[in-house]
Chain A
Amino acid sequence: MPAVDYFEVECDEKKGAEYYRQIANDVLLDHNLLRVIDKLHIFIDPKVPLFIATGTLKKITTRVRVRDFANINPQEGKMTLVISDETYLAPMLKIFWQRFGKERVDQPDRFTVILNGLSVDPKEIEEIVVADPSESVFKDLIYAFRCIAPEGFRIRKETYGSSRFSFVASENILAEDIDDLVAAKFALMGETP
């Protein structure tokens, strides 16, 4: 795990901690989230039971533009876009429809989009921002931690803001002093409020 600066799983049961370290690693890797996490501390107490994950995020500013996944061939009266990666095709089409109207956007097959009768500079189209992955990072993170946390821990408390996040889950009602415990876990990582 080279990308993460700090990664600890704290648990009374040594074996359990080891397994959860593996699970967290697998899930975050599968969801492509290791590149956004800077520090991560997971605390599990099966006796209460309680699951706490606290961490900090790296700054990510990689906004996805049209040029990142499409080549534009300007022809007379039309522009042909050759798509190399379909991931952002749907949001791109949505933006095109909004901006130019559906009648000007034609998609003959999966990897081709043709824009008809536009007087826009191809450069301008290349620069259109299609998606901002940092917007959905929080949602993705919470989803990933729901996979990592033991199942049945349906009572959750999540916080997110200024590059820090915390995720608390239990099957019982959370104690009132849970925020202090979360702060203590942040302190263990060398993060103070």
Chain B
Amino acid sequence: MMLVPVTYKGGIYQHDVVTDLIEDLGGYVVQKHVLAQEVVLQCFVPKDDIELIREISRPLFGEVTDSPLVGTEIAIVSPSLEIHHLPHPSCDIAEYTRRLGAKSNMVGMARGVGKRIAAINDEERDVINEHDIAVMALGNFEHCIEYKMPNLRRGIDVPIVLCGGPDKEALQKIVDPPVEGYVGNVGRFMHRTKEADELGKLDEIIAEITRVLEKKREEIAKDPLSVAPARLMNLIREKVPAILDVTSPTPLTVQMTGLRVKLPYDTFAPAIRKVEIEDGITIGDIAEVLPSRMRDYILIRVRPFSETNVVI
């Protein structure tokens, strides 16, 4: 059964019909937003059943759209948290990815600014590595990006999409070894992106992120995960009720190969390891439950089939 990420938008009236249907079909609701009279569900559903969901939600005026970024956590890396880079363009990119279903986090570096002095520290590196992909929003000068990029990417092993002022070709030429994705003509600017051509640029960034993530999905498909992270999310919600009291917008953040659980590691890690998935197999058996560098959260990394020899 192939699960695909989609977004469902519809009225709040009888939306539980849709939620139940998705769960009955073997899909997962990753995020649910209730905005006044409207409900937005970000979910994974079986590919063959999308038409069925459309059919059933038609009387409720529901709308099902593809959103390739659902179930991913994206790091938007900005050289600093100063007015030079925020809120534009870093926040604009972060917000745009969020609209398409991703969970994006801003990572503002302590000393990512300048040319010679640009550097990354171990905490930033580890936090970025906890994401599915890193989008680096750098500046306007070719020479500067060429000089500082080797420093900023040191130790980062997740795919990188580089955004910068020069053209895409120029970026490709100056970055060595190459990164996974490039978007040119999006450097530092100091105004909101609202013109059509600027929004087009944001779309281009999304397309590039999607392309890189698609490649990563293909890689994962070659050695599938022992369990779908979205399934773990539902399990933890059932078996560890403390998660229901967490006030973060996404107490459980689904990633492509894991899950971020926003509970303190020391208190809850043993309980999570012991959660049984099926037939006596626990989360601890098929996934690593690690302390996250982000606050004192828990990071679950699901191990692939080749390591565990089980797929459930």
Judging by beta carbons under 8 Å apart, are B116 and A172 in contact? yes
Whether B84 lies near A147 (C-beta < 8 A) is yes
Q: Which of A149-185 contact B (CB under 8 A)?
A: 150-154, 171-172
A27 partner residues in chain B, CB cutoff 8 A: 190
Given A13-B141, A16-B140, A147-B83, A23 contacting B114 (CB threshold 8 A): no
Interface of B, helix, strand, loop or mixed by DSSP: loop
Which residues of chain B are within 8 angstroms of A110 by Cβ–Cβ distance? none
Whether A26 contacts B116 by the Cβ 8 Å rule is no
Nearest Cβ on chain B to A170's Cβ, whole angstroms: 9
Query: Are B117's CB and A171's CB within 8 A?
Result: yes
Q: Which residues of chain B come closer than 8 Å to A171, judged between CB atoms?
A: 114-117
Residues of B within 8 A of A20 (CB): 140
State how many angstroms separate the Cβ of A42 from the closest Cβ of chain B.
Answer: 13
A153 contact set on B, CB distance < 8 A: 114
Contacts of A172 in B (CB 8 A): 116
Interface contact B140-A19, CB-CB below 8 Å: yes
Per the CB 8 Å criterion, the residue count for chain A at the interface is: 22
A45-76 near B? 1/0 per residue, CB < 8 Å:
01101000000000000000000000000000
Q: Which residue of A lies closest to B112 (CB)?
A: A152
Nearest chain-A residue to B82 (Cβ)? A151
Does A30 have its Cβ within 8 Å of any Cβ on chain B? yes
Kindly identify which residue among A15, A30, A46, A147 contacts B144, using a CB–CB cutoff of 8 Å.
A46
Interface string of A96-135 (1 = CB under 8 A from B): 0000000000000000000000000000000000000000
The reply to whether the CB of A22 lies closer than 8 angstroms to some CB of chain B is yes
Residues of A close to B116: CB separation below 8 A = 49, 171-172
- List the A residue with the shortest CB-CB distance to B145: A46
Q: Quick one: which of B16-34 are within 8 Å of A by CB? A: none
Number of residues from B at the complex interface, CB < 8 A: 26
- Are A19 and B118 touching (Cβ within 8 A)? no
* Contact among B113, B166, B187 with A152 in the assembled complex (CB-CB below 8 Å): B113
Report whether B140 and A47 are in contact in the complex, using a CB–CB cutoff of 8 Å: no
B304 at the interface (CB under 8 A from A): no
Task: Decide: A150 and B143 in contact? CB cutoff 8 A.
Answer: no
The listed residue (B117, B143, B191) touching A13 by CB distance below 8 A is B143
Asked if A22 and B189 make an inter-chain contact with CB atoms under 8 angstroms apart, the answer reads yes
Closest chain B CB from A33 CB (angstroms): 13
B159 interfacial contact with A, CB 8 Å: no
Closest-by-CB residue of A relative to B80 is A151
Give A residues with C-beta under 8 Å from B: 13, 15-16, 19-20, 22-23, 26-27, 30, 44, 46-47, 49, 147, 150-154, 171-172
Interface residues of B (CB under 8 A from A): 79-80, 82-85, 113-118, 139-144, 165-167, 187-191
Q: Could you give 21 example pairs across A and B, Cβ below 8 Å?
A: A13-B141, A16-B141, A16-B142, A16-B166, A19-B189, A22-B189, A22-B191, A23-B190, A26-B190, A46-B115, A47-B143, A49-B115, A150-B113, A150-B144, A150-B188, A151-B85, A152-B118, A153-B114, A154-B114, A171-B114, A171-B117
